[in-house]
Structure 1
């Protein structure tokens, strides 16, 4: 088990993690958190390879970081977000090779399916100068303009972040592209950026 202490803040830079071969699924992974069958990780699928079926998937949340990801619902390019109540792993493949950020078996109270092509979806005005793109219940992309400073705030139900572009900062450190952060319930911080930054954010689920 890796990083299952949900009452503690944690951050991991994917550049400091090594790819691990997953022979059961036929892919490579950089694992951020693993708790029994719940997993948060980066997954790399080689060109024209197909997943083996582990029969352990009851929900998935995916953001395609590179290449084309295919499953029984279709083929999805870089920048696509998927939230699915179930996925048939034996139908997962990639004609180009791809890399994805994936959360598995973190089933919410409501069954929800959401597929969003973020490259063709409008941003909405958020607090201050932030722009927000809702992806599903509790999940969104947030765009920070250069030199934006946010108000200090408390995370009710916690917060999880994956940095997609730029460098996210707070009083605890600097988190460049590819960094995953998890802040626990009632944690506090004062975030800001120096360059345009985009983060994948989940809130209230911890």
Structure 2
């Protein structure tokens, strides 16, 4: 939870942990407290598993990696990005099973937009540095997007200035000394200067601009 420090976590399948709900597993990335506050994790639902109704004091967002995630608002298949605003509640479940990347209690209080972006319906923009980008959300200088490198390439240096968070969706990133495959997670503080390189076809979930003012919150979910 020290946002001034770089954290790089290659994916390790043995790090999955059971949650309080039967059939729901967690893969911790950053967590302020056992069941509250600032949380970033992977979550896996076995077929038919459900998580009881719960609140999001400062919001929830998730990206569906596999399967279909469901709640009272509908079904969200792989390739969906969903935001629930501060103060929202829901009961989560999956009929067929799913894996999601989820972030809890990390919104600005006024960032209250309900938002769903489906990757296959989104508008991808092609950049001049060999990748294309799909915007997922933007608020107060914080940008969340997907980046896709068709044939590898250098990660854009402009993204490092105000902090950078990456989840590798497909392919591989390298910083010159370590390699990060699918489901690896990196958090780099403001003004970091690593030289991240994508190898071959690589897709990334990326957030920039949020670590300059990131602070843990201590509100019960």
TM-score, structure 1 as length reference: 0.89
Q: Partners in 1 of 2:52 and 2:177 — Cα distance?
A: 40
Deviates further, 183-192 or 23-32: 23-32
Partner SS state of residue 119, structure 1: helix
- Aligned residue among 156, 180, 183 for 1:178: 183
Name which of structure 1's ranges 74-83 and 145-154 shifts more when overlaid on structure 2. Answer: 145-154
Of the structure 1 ranges 194-203 and 164-173, higher mean CA displacement relative to structure 2 is found in 164-173
Aligned-partner Cα distance in 1 for 2:55–2:180 = 35
Residue aligned with 1:187, SS: coil
The C-alpha deviation readout for 1:111-154, integer Å capped at 9, x for no partner, is: 22221110232321124111000011110000112142345456
Q: Secondary structure at the match of 1:157?
A: coil
1:173/1:14 CA distance change after superposition, 3 Å: closer
Change (3 A) 1:202 1:96: same
Structure 1 unmatched runs, 5+: none
Unaligned 5+ segments in structure 2 are 212-221
Q: Would you say 1:166 and 2:171 are equivalent positions? A: yes
Q: Which residue of 1 aligns with 2:103?
A: 103
The answer for the alignment partner of 1:13 in structure 2 is 10
| Cα distance change of structure 1 residues 181 and 120 upon mapping to structure 2, 3 Å threshold | same
Q: CA deviation at 1:191?
A: 2.1
SS at match of 1:171: coil
Equivalent residue number for residue 59 of structure 2: 59
The answer to whether the aligner puts 1:205 opposite 2:206 as a matched pair is no
* Cα distance in 2, alignment partners of residues 60 and 10 from structure 1: 22
Q: CA deviation at 1:55?
A: 3.7
Cα displacement (A) at 1:24: 5.4
Scaled by the length of structure 2, what TM-score is found?
0.83
Per-residue CA deviations over 1:169-206 (Å, capped at 9, x if unaligned) read 22353211110000001111222222110000000001
Change (3 A) 1:28 1:88: same
